[in-house]
Structure 1
Amino acid sequence: MKNTIKAAAAAVILLASGAAAQTPPPGVKMPFPMAPQTPFDTMNSPEVSADGRITFRVFAPKAEAVSVKPWIPGLPGEIKLTKNADGVWSVTTDPAKPGAYRYRFVVDGATISDTRNTYNSPMHRDTYSLVEVPGGADDLQTYRAGVPHGLVAELNYDSPVAGPQRRLHVYLPPGYSAGKNYPVLYLLHGGGDSDLDWPTEGRAGVILDNLIAQGKAKPMVVVFPDGIIEGSWPMGEPEQDKFGLELRTVIVPLIEKSFNVSTRPEDRALAGLSMGGIQTLNIGLLHTDEFRYVGVFSSGWFPDTLKAFEAKYGKGLKANTDRLKVLWIAHGETDIARNNSLAMMKMLDSKGVKFYREETPGGHDMVNWRRYLSEFAPLLFH
């Protein structure tokens, strides 16, 4: 028994001292290899240089073709990798703008995540690896040491509207306290995505941490729901999407029961990007008695839906939206949603609805949406 204990202790000492290349004592079987077995064990992927160049690597000695598909504005949608003598494929990109970006590899036609990278961003039915390009001192989406940081919590629940095993995430600001009722921003993701998009690729928690630390935004709780409900059509008219009902009758009461938040309409905001922007329009413009701040990022109804919405709700739209403290709408110059956004704003103008509008460089991407969150959040809860 004593010999067994001594052998185990020796193994622990080897692990703790980092003696990976040493041989374990006789009779001691290690739970994992002590020394690197292949180039996969020592390579890093991704690596980001000081000027924003990203090096991607894959160990695939028998593969015939490897490429990477990054969601990075300004870079090609697919980039080929080259193989070295050790079977490691690699490529270094041109400099990328600061931000967090999704990517995946294609190895002989098979799409895979980066197995050397545990930082990922799940969609509704898919998962991407994530790479972060840090920004400068004034970049709000870059994590900074010394800045008080909030936390993101996961909350599972059953929904009488959408069914069992639903999930959402919640950002709690730095210093979250039981003695205070915080205002709440409900922040919606785009089509095909999930409640983890804003907390991961969207960098929402980091952006709020930095804004709050700089005194530019009030401490707030931010809720990231799952906006996709099977059998529902979120891109259509309000009645075609069950999520609006779930948000108002299930999620809002759940948040107000589970966290220290205000229940006043003046302390509730709603915003969303792309598909989530349409959901925001359908909910936020018709229920201004429940939400007083509305943000629409790169979105707008499709032409037929816009006509149907105007015909059904246009007459009372001004009276409804007069309750809003902020109606904020933005899209990119090359945004695929630009025409829908412009048509929507034209309709709102015709009804006398007051709103803030902005057109920014760039397109339908998270670079713009992080910018919009950074501009929208400071307007809330004043």
Structure 2
Amino acid sequence: MKRESLINKISRKTALLFLALTVLLSMPLSSIAADALPAAPPSGYDRVQNNIPHGQVSYITYQSSATNSQRRARIYLPPGYSASNKYSVLYLLHGIGGNEDEWYNSGVPHVILDNLIAAGKIQPFICVLPNGNATGNGISDGWENFTKDLINSLVPYIESKYSVYNDAKHRAVAGLSQGGAQSLNIGLPNADKFNYVGGFSSSPITKQVGQLFPDGGAKVRANLKLLFLSCGTSDFLISNNNRVRDYCKSNNISYTEWLLQGNGHDWTVWKPSLWNFAQMACARGFTDYGPVTPPEPRSAFEKIEGESYNSQSGIQDGSCSEGGECVGYIENGDYTVYSNIDFESGATGFKARVASDTSGGNIEIRLDSITGPVIGTCAVAGTGGWQNWVDVQCNVSGVSGKHDLYLKYTGGSGYLFNVNWFQFTKGGTPDVLVGDLNGDGSVNTTDYALMKMYLIGSIEDFPVENDLKAGDLNSDGVINSVDFSIFKQYLLGLIPKLPY
């Protein structure tokens, strides 16, 4: 009897546990999520941390069929981005007075995502910051036209140029104010293209629920993994949030609503909303692709092709007369980034193969960010043509181990120079650049004039260290009229390189 009573008790407890689980699993997703997220972020969630890896933000330009023009956007590539991995993409939209710079300048999504990745809260993913006003000739409503721009032009561009997944499970759209409304207007009717949708303080251009859910919500229920609605309770636009929420509640559509008590229509809502949305989307499968493998380190002491960058800002690839491609169309402030460069025990010199049909500029060599420490600056003089290639070099110091390398290009207006390849040297001083007699890192008519002065006895040596090696153009151990003749032929383009 006791044994049978014990069995009955266990059976009743098991049945109660099963019933509790059934009730829990049948609850709306929003109710479960409220136990953990959304929540107020910790202090410092939006501040740069110097002791963690940082992603890279750059501009991109794509051709839009919606505006029949080139359009610009920003793109965030997470720390360690590598083409050997595939990534998910979040399209993050700005408000009515902004453009592709608004989120970056005021909302710092790159900082928020860097910190979340470093804390192990999310897997790395790509974030694209478009200009949501796709206006142009003959276009009456640029905000409405952006739907075509995003779906037909920007998304295909990203999926053709970057190592990303091209399915709805790995694609999200979210935004603030006008961009929040756009995210709902685009994402909900296209839930089979965007499985995660976030509207932060959505503006009055939010469409009527009959347009957001034209089939009564069937597509959303079948496809959407996260609908995130957030707003400050003191926001004068809260009614747009409420009518979407009320429709979802009445039509069995899962959603998460986060109301920030006393907050208005500002960044105190939008930045924390992104922090929550990113984590919740990842938890629902947005980054369900396993661990991301960092890129293999590249030796700083082997030639690195300029066009083999991991990310860039402003430049374009161009053809190279010495074979392959080069970094071209460089203007002041542009840069290229090369991830995980191994400097081993230290580098002392930098050499680059460059060409310029203008007065050139400089290459600032920085570590780990575009504002990181400068380890050297390499001057680039004009070479007389965009395909007249010469070597330039400079000293570097204060670098060892593995770093992300940033080459920042500076100079005057217009295009500065092209870069074919570069590499670092170690031990002692940098290799001597044959023909560079004044030590400015380039070979040109100034050096030719110095050789003439040397041969007629006006000077006894050249300003550059190791002047014999620099001036002995045919490597016969002496500097004489033969070297002078070789120099002239080199400057005329009759000889491709020195020494000859």
State the TM-score, normalized to the length of structure 2.
0.46
Q: Is the 8 A contact 1:299 1:340 kept in 2?
A: yes
- Secondary structure of the structure 2 residue equivalent to 1:142: coil
Residues 184 and 342 (structure 1), Cα distance of their counterparts in 2 relative to 1, 3 Å cut: same
- What corresponds to 2:259 in structure 1? 359
- What corresponds to 2:111 in structure 1? 206
- The amino acid across from 1:328 in the alignment is F
- What corresponds to 2:281 in structure 1? 380
- Take 1:312 and 1:175, find their aligned partners in 2: how far apart are those partners? 38
Residues 232 and 255 (structure 1), Cα distance of their counterparts in 2 relative to 1, 3 Å cut: farther
- Take 2:234 and 2:212, find their aligned partners in 1: how far apart are those partners? 31
The superposition leaves residues 303-338 of structure 1 with CA deviations (integer Å, 9 ceiling, x where unpaired) of 9x42xx416844332333431111111100111221
Q: Is the 8 A contact 1:180 1:260 kept in 2?
A: yes
From 187, 190, 193, give the equivalent of 2:92.
187
- What corresponds to 2:170 in structure 1? 267
- The amino acid across from 1:287 in the alignment is N
Q: Is the 8 A contact 2:197 2:226 kept in 1?
A: yes
Q: Is the 8 A contact 1:218 1:380 kept in 2?
A: no
Q: Is the 8 A contact 2:175 2:183 kept in 1?
A: yes
Would you say 1:328 and 2:267 are equivalent positions? no
- What corresponds to 2:186 in structure 1? 283
- Secondary structure of the structure 2 residue equivalent to 1:198: helix
- The amino acid across from 1:225 in the alignment is P
Matches within 5 A, 1:19-168: 138-168=43-73
Shift of 1:137: 8.2
- Secondary structure of the structure 2 residue equivalent to 1:377: helix
- What corresponds to 1:346 in structure 2? 246
Residues 215 and 374 (structure 1), Cα distance of their counterparts in 2 relative to 1, 3 Å cut: same
- Secondary structure of the structure 2 residue equivalent to 1:201: helix
Q: Is the 8 A contact 1:285 1:321 kept in 2?
A: no
- Take 2:104 and 2:223, find their aligned partners in 1: how far apart are those partners? 30
The superposition leaves residues 93-113 of structure 1 with CA deviations (integer Å, 9 ceiling, x where unpaired) of xxxxxxxxxxxxxxxxxxxxx
From 60, 76, 79, give the equivalent of 1:174.
79
> Superposition RMSD on alpha carbons, in Å?
2.0
- Take 2:102 and 2:248, find their aligned partners in 1: how far apart are those partners? 29
The superposition leaves residues 57-85 of structure 1 with CA deviations (integer Å, 9 ceiling, x where unpaired) of xxxxxxxxxxxxxxxxxxxxxxxxxxxxx
Residues 312 and 252 (structure 1), Cα distance of their counterparts in 2 relative to 1, 3 Å cut: closer
Q: Is the 8 A contact 1:318 1:351 kept in 2?
A: no
Shift of 1:246: 1.1
- Take 1:165 and 1:264, find their aligned partners in 2: how far apart are those partners? 25
From 213, 222, 235, give the equivalent of 2:127.
222
Unmatched runs of 5 consecutive residues or more in structure 1: 1-135, 236-240
- Take 1:302 and 1:376, find their aligned partners in 2: how far apart are those partners? 22
Q: Is the 8 A contact 1:318 1:352 kept in 2?
A: no
- Secondary structure of the structure 2 residue equivalent to 1:216: coil
Residues 234 and 379 (structure 1), Cα distance of their counterparts in 2 relative to 1, 3 Å cut: farther
- What corresponds to 2:11 in structure 1? none
From 215, 236, 239, give the equivalent of 1:315.
215
Shift of 1:352: 2.1
Q: Is the 8 A contact 1:187 1:270 kept in 2?
A: yes
Unmatched runs of 5 consecutive residues or more in structure 2: 1-40, 286-500
- Secondary structure of the structure 2 residue equivalent to 1:330: strand
Shift of 1:294: 0.7
The superposition leaves residues 101-158 of structure 1 with CA deviations (integer Å, 9 ceiling, x where unpaired) of xxxxxxxxxxxxxxxxxxxxxxxxxxxxxxxxxxx98411101111110010100122
Would you say 1:295 and 2:295 are equivalent positions? no
Would you say 1:233 and 2:141 are equivalent positions? yes
- Secondary structure of the structure 1 residue equivalent to 2:102: coil
- What corresponds to 1:103 in structure 2? none
- The amino acid across from 1:156 in the alignment is T
- Take 1:171 and 1:182, find their aligned partners in 2: how far apart are those partners? 12
Residues 183 and 302 (structure 1), Cα distance of their counterparts in 2 relative to 1, 3 Å cut: closer
- What corresponds to 1:84 in structure 2? none
Q: Is the 8 A contact 2:189 2:214 kept in 1?
A: no
Q: Is the 8 A contact 1:314 1:351 kept in 2?
A: no
Q: Is the 8 A contact 1:322 1:353 kept in 2?
A: no
- Take 2:230 and 2:109, find their aligned partners in 1: how far apart are those partners? 17
- Take 2:117 and 2:64, find their aligned partners in 1: how far apart are those partners? 33
- Take 1:302 and 1:182, find their aligned partners in 2: how far apart are those partners? 31
- Take 1:343 and 1:300, find their aligned partners in 2: how far apart are those partners? 12
Q: Is the 8 A contact 2:60 2:74 kept in 1?
A: yes
Residues 321 and 181 (structure 1), Cα distance of their counterparts in 2 relative to 1, 3 Å cut: same
- The amino acid across from 1:233 in the alignment is D
Residues 345 and 312 (structure 1), Cα distance of their counterparts in 2 relative to 1, 3 Å cut: closer
Q: Greater Rg, structure 1 or structure 2?
A: 2
Residues 328 and 313 (structure 1), Cα distance of their counterparts in 2 relative to 1, 3 Å cut: closer
Quick one: percent identity of the two aligned structures? 36
- Secondary structure of the structure 2 residue equivalent to 1:328: strand
- Take 1:370 and 1:295, find their aligned partners in 2: how far apart are those partners? 12
